[in-house]
Structure 1
Amino acid sequence: MTAAKKLREMLSQNKIIVAPGAYDAWSAKLISKSGFQAVYMTGYGVSASVLGKPDIGLITLTEMVAAAKNIVDAAGDTPVIADADNGYGGNLNVMRTVQEYERAGVAAIQLEDQVTPKRCGHMEGKEIISKEEMVAKIKAAVSARKDPDLCIIARTDARAVNGFEDALERAKIYEEAGADIIFIEAPQSVDEMKKVAQCIKSPLLANMVEKGKTPMLKNNELENIGYKIAIYPVSPLYAATKAVIDILSSMKENDTSLSSLDKIVDFPTFNSMIDLQELRELEKSFL
């Protein structure tokens, strides 16, 4: 079964799909090993990991596809939902983006209606393209996929630019254009989230960003409202960042890492987590 088919089957079930954010292959592997139903490849996190830069449209299609391939490989059987920003250009660029991401093995591709350069969904200063331009991009994306199970996620950032009603209107139009999953970025109240669920028939994606613009609800609460996917794009990235800062501060202060052994995994444990023994045994099997 393909990853896209597996995601489609999960979407047909009643339980919400929870997808923590992976910013590289190792974080994707950890998410998969932890038993989550899906991995979300975060453009925000990949930009930070690959470039050490913010999510403001600096990362390229080539860099994102390379990250997607590594994340898909590391995630194993866990489907990957991949951020593809605004498709990296016009309609033909969107088609190439879909084709490249599909070859990388992702189960779903997220496209947004921002202008270039784009911004992270919870940042200020966003601008959006017209409804007609985004509809054309969605149609181009649908046309470009080879596997009909591959999900096209249409995201609108209109809530922060033109207000909630425009965002809702866009979501309906994008649904009609052929998007499989609808993502209204950054609704600002539970009431808005409930209204989205009342008005949109397609599966809905909720973006849970700590201290972002959207209320942080528990997964069962999102499920009860009517959401089918909950992504946590920055939680692993922020946790890893805090852990690295803490260990570096401790090393600098104490002149050693030995005072922080309780905060890190050890050498044998990490080697086991990264499947070293299995790979060595596979290597020996050919001798």
Structure 2
Amino acid sequence: MSQETGSTGKRPTLRAQLRDGWLLSAGCFDAWSAKLAEHVGFSSLHFSGGAFHTSQFAYAGMVYTMPEVASQVGRITAAVDIPILADLDTGFGGVEDILRATRELERAGAGGIHIEDVPFPITRNGAQGPAVIPKSEAVGRVKAALAARTDPDFLVVGRTDSTVSVDDLIERSNLFLEAGADVAFPLVRAVEVDGRRLAELPPPERLEWYRRIVREIDGPVVTVGGVDRTFSASELRDVGFTWVIVPLVAFNAATAAMTLALREALEDGRASRYFTDHPNPLTPSQYMKLVGYDRVAEHEREFGGAETADDEGES
């Protein structure tokens, strides 16, 4: 349970939510984006490593570390009462690093992690390196994460970024599930089909390929939605995906909004046109409630030791 929210009851688990049915998770990169997702009605979250990386460093050459991720996830889980799937990237190194990273993310309050099969360190300079690591090494990463978890409700999701072929994507996903992964996460948009990326095919053809991928993977499958805004969440659900995450919707929206407002503020110091066209959906009272001003006041009354005027008059 989040200590900061003042809520009662145990935080729901991703495992229970998946067991109850289909799941849609909002991407977040800090406590405020997570809080807003919870406020509008999302029941689960996804911590985006890419959005976190850019928001913290704004430089592709900077490598973030596991303690930084664990610390940020801890701040998020303290702010909300809904579960979060955290991006563990490659596990931040070798086997021992994966073991430690999984434990730290579980300790930080994450409801699960996904770990991927690209080489470590992840290349962020656009250079074309090996697409994915060997299957045996990729499966070993999943097994290490599984061995490290202590909470049986903590999900381990095996992600493959294979672009070789649909067959390779399916095989790797099934190997992760056979190793014990709770969910498979094939990065379907980037895979090659007849010399073209699947994302470049006409939408009806892409949906047919998605159906085949989901049908031939022997377990729950999560996918990324909202990236190119081609398919709705319900369309992805209808082709068979168990879980859809929208990792960059909040980040991209925030980037667009800040750019437009700041550009106008540079012109006149007010950005009044922007805020006229995009009024804040939160009232001042809603904002104050979301950030906990009421709890701060209650804590001051209970623990602050400040005397009221009546108290002083009685002494």
Equivalent residue runs for 1:203-218 within 5 Å: 203-211=220-228, 216-218=230-232
Decide which of 158, 168, 175 is 1:154's aligned counterpart: 158
Give the C-alpha shift of residue 125 in structure 1.
5.4
Aligned letter for 2:157? I
Higher Rg of the two aligned structures:
2
- 2:185: which partner in 1? 183
Residue 26 in 1 paired to residue 28 in 2? no
Equivalent residue runs for 1:73-222 within 5 Å: 73-74=78-79, 76-118=80-122, 127-158=131-162, 160=163, 162-187=164-189, 188=198, 189-211=206-228, 216-222=230-236
Unmatched runs of 5 consecutive residues or more in structure 1: none
- 2:308: which partner in 1? none
**Residue deviations 1:227-268 (CA, integer Å, cap 9, x gap):** 121111111001011111111111111232444443354893
Structure 1 residues 80, 246: closer, same or farther in 2, change over 3 A?
Answer: same
- Give the RMSD, CA atoms, in angstroms: 2.3
Deviates more, 1:96-105 or 1:255-264: 255-264
Aligned length: 277
In 2, distance between residues paired with 1:196 and 1:133? 22
Q: Among the aligned pairs, what percent are the same residue?
A: 29
Give the C-alpha shift of residue 78 in structure 1.
0.5
- 1:60: which partner in 2? 65
Structure 1 residues 152, 190: closer, same or farther in 2, change over 3 A?
Answer: same
Is this contact kept in 2: 1:57–1:119, CA < 8 A?
no
Structure 1 residues 251, 28: closer, same or farther in 2, change over 3 A?
Answer: same
Kindly report structure 1 stretches of 4+ aligned residues shifted beyond 6 Å.
none
In 1, distance between residues paired with 2:253 and 2:289? 22
Aligned letter for 1:136? G
Q: Which has the higher contact order (CA 8 A, sep 6+)?
A: 1
Aligned letter for 2:19? S
TM-score (norm 1): 0.89
Aligned letter for 1:199? E
- 2:250: which partner in 1? 236
In 1, distance between residues paired with 2:224 and 2:128? 16
Structure 1 residues 126, 237: closer, same or farther in 2, change over 3 A?
Answer: farther
In 2, distance between residues paired with 1:37 and 1:255? 38
Specify the SS of the correspondent of 2:13.
helix
Give the C-alpha shift of residue 124 in structure 1.
6.7
- 1:69: which partner in 2? 74
In 2, distance between residues paired with 1:59 and 1:190? 35
